[in-house]
Amino acid sequence: MVKPCENEECGKPFIAKRRDTRFCSASCRARAHTLKSRREYLLARTSAAAGVEVVVPPATPATARLERRVRGLEAAIEGARVEAVRGLGELAAELRVGRDQAADAVAELSARVDTEVAAQARRARAAATEGRRRDARLREVEAQLLRVTTLLGALEQRLVALEQAVVVATARLGARQR
The predicted structure's pLDDT at residue 115 = 94
pTM for the model: 0.34
Percent of the chain whose predicted confidence (pLDDT) is above 90: 38
- Please identify, among 54, 70, 98, the residue that sits at the C-terminal boundary of a domain: 54
Residue 58 has pLDDT above 70, yes or no: no
- Nearest-CA neighbor of 55 among 71, 73, 75, 74? 71
For residue 35, being part of any structural domain is answered with yes
- Nearest-CA neighbor of 23 among 7, 8, 39? 7
Overall average pLDDT of the 153-178 stretch: 88
The predicted structure's pLDDT at residue 71 = 85
pLDDT tens column, 118-156:
999 999 999 999 999 999 999 999 999 999 999 999 999
- Residue 28 to residues 6, 58, 70, 80, 123, Cα–Cα distance (Å): 9, 44, 36, 33, 59
The predicted structure's pLDDT at residue 86 = 85
Average pLDDT, the chain: 86
Look at the chain and report how many structural domains it folds into.
2
Place 177 in a pLDDT band, splitting at 50, 70 and 90: low
CB atoms within 10 A of CB 108: 10
For residue 100, being part of any structural domain is answered with yes
Query: Whole domain around residue 15: which residue ranges?
Result: 1-54
Same domain (yes/no): 145, 97: yes
For residue 68, being part of any structural domain is answered with no
For residue 62, being part of any structural domain is answered with no
Place 52 in a pLDDT band, splitting at 50, 70 and 90: low
